[in-house]
Chains A and B, each alone.
Chain A
Amino acid sequence: MSFQKVFTRWTDDPASHTLAFYESKGGYESARKAIRDWAPDDLIEEVKASNLRGRGGAGFPTGVKWGFVPKQTDKPKYLAVNADESEPGTFKDRVIMEKYPHQLLEGIIISCWAVGIHTAYIYIRGEYVFAYRRLVEAIEEAYAKGYLGDKVLGTDFKLDVTVHRGAGAYICGEETGMLTSLEGERGQPKLKPPFPAIEGLFGCPTVVNNVETLANLPYILEIGSEAYKKVGPERSPGPKLFCVSGHVERPGTYELPMGVNLLSLINDTCGGIWKGRKLKAVIPGGSSAHVLHADECDVAMDIESLAAAGSMLGSAGVIVMDDQTCMVNALVNVMRFYHHESCGQCTPCREGTGWLEKIVHRIAYGHGKREDLERIDQICGRMVGKTICVLADAAAFPAWSFTQKFRDEFLQCIDNGGSPAVKARHPDRIGGGLHV
């Protein structure tokens, strides 16, 4: 079976975001089919059978998650669509929202029908102003034509969708942080359990799904779970958006079957490493994923294969680094990010991210000691699995894998008075203060 693109089918068409265009391509047929032909429980089973797994980072089976929502409850149930997209190296949901907002809305209708939800919020990061406007327009169109509102597609099914803008905080991508933020609070995560499916938004059962996850649903209903499972590896199948950035000739968002080979993605799809240089390292799943050494990059881009390779698919944000990259400097950058984005509730995360940034920084700036590498290991060990959310783990993973896999480079920096890249940029700073 040849591969059918699902998220980027009509990318070149300037009208792809409009309802008229989407309808002309058979849009909303799957939603119609869902409400007409599928009992909600059967639909949940069908999505389970498709093996669709979350595209937000954790890869949780979508149908299974829906199944956790209590069937009998007097409380309203909510869908919170995660459009926060803040994991460094990730820019795929933006493509869906800007080019195919109706495909997302159709996915929302299908999931809400399956779980019995009448109110959905799309939590979009505040910086995505253009995508926000596209969504608002699409929602207005959908209400006007009866795809949303009190009588969805002429039935008694009621569904309201509201777009809610975030305001610049990575942690609001973590599901409980996002729900807290939606409630109008500081976006700090909460301890689980209770899981959102039981007690989420406004204390009610809530499904949290990523934009790309939901945008798969119309296709699953179009071709059926059996056929869907055959796209890519059966245990984590489907068409997938890969975001490639960094040192490749043609960075971009590319739609390929799950399980595409990473080297082929870099060399064939993206035109290889820029400037004729060589590959040094890749972070395959957003900056929280363990870095892969060039030797480890002959790997399939799917959940199981990357886990087996000691990393993760995460958000499929593939960050490519060429052989002239200073890994110490790169890690300083990543550590600054997590330190900046820690919400500060948990001591191991608040302090740990700060210490990691400081230590890696001082190595880059010529004040490192050999013991610092042991210290990084220790700090990471005290962060992983010890906090309310996994941001602490997300910071520890790159710290660990960079210093393990590129240990020689860190040692050279320590022994030779700092990173050559820093020396070139700040000859005056080496041996000077800690901060840029």
Chain B
Amino acid sequence: MSDLKFSEKGMQHYEWLLTRYPDKQAALLPTLRIAEEEFGNLGVPEMKYVADLMGISPARVFGVVTFYTHFRRAGTGTYHIQVCSTLSCALRGSQEVCDHVAKRLGIEVGETTEDGLFTLSKVECLGSCDTAPMFQLNDDYHENLTLQDVDGIIEECRQEAARGGAR
């Protein structure tokens, strides 16, 4: 048995969610978001906790989580850099941005740095094509990127982590 548990605040949010839908399972995606917020990443124990909490079979929860690409899965670094690589961004240099991040971090796309700080992913259109090239870093969009910007952003993350400020 794991001792994972939503905080009181998380629990309240969950109870509120249940009042918003006529059917419990409809609250699954938002509940997984609470789990992300409370536990960081979604691994097997976290998914199992949500399954038990909601009375949905774990297999079903795994099936749902793995269908979507935007949940923070187990093993994701503290800073998740998701470089948009779809057409509009590609036309304005997203490949260079992606290559540059990879070089700076010393990892390939899909990998996490050894210190667990950064994960680099290539993703599809993020609805910010007019500010290409761009990436999403955790919740935030970083737009109209130059390679210098990229260096600055990575450095800021490192400093934040060194100060112990990272989530």
Contact = CB atoms under 8 A, between A and B. Distances in A.
Chain B associates with chain A = yes
B130 interface: yes
Contact of A185 (B25, B123, B125, B129): B25
Interface residues of B, number: 41
A244 B70 contact: no
Contact of A251 (B90, B95, B130): B130
Contact of B69 (A167, A247, A287): A167
A334 interface: yes
Interface stretch (B60-68, B112-120, B149-157): B60-68
A126 to B, nearest CB: 4
Interface residues of A, number: 53
Interface stretch (A36-44, A49-57, A85-93, A223-231): A85-93
Between A90, A162, A202, A246, the greatest number of chain B beta carbons within 10 A of the residue's beta carbon is seen for: A246
Nearest to A168: B70
A76 B22 contact: yes
A217 interface: no
Contacts of A160: 20
Contact of B140 (A129, A164, A185, A325): A129
B127 interface: yes
Contact of A88 (B21, B27, B64, B87): B87
Interface string B129-148: 11110001001110000000
Contact of A91 (B67, B71, B87, B129): B129
Interface string B15-35: 000001111011111101100
Contacts of A181: 29
Interface string B60-85: 00011001111100000000000001
Nearest to A274: B92
| Most A-side CB within 10 Å, residue of B32, B33, B128, B130 | B130
Given A186-B64, A287-B87, A165 B130 contact: no
Contacts of B161: none
Given A89-B125, A160-B20, A184 B29 contact: yes
Given A169-B69, A246-B87, 5 more contacts: A164-B30, A166-B68, A168-B70, A169-B68, A246-B92
8 contacts: A86-B125, A88-B87, A94-B127, A94-B128, A185-B25, A186-B64, A202-B22, A251-B88
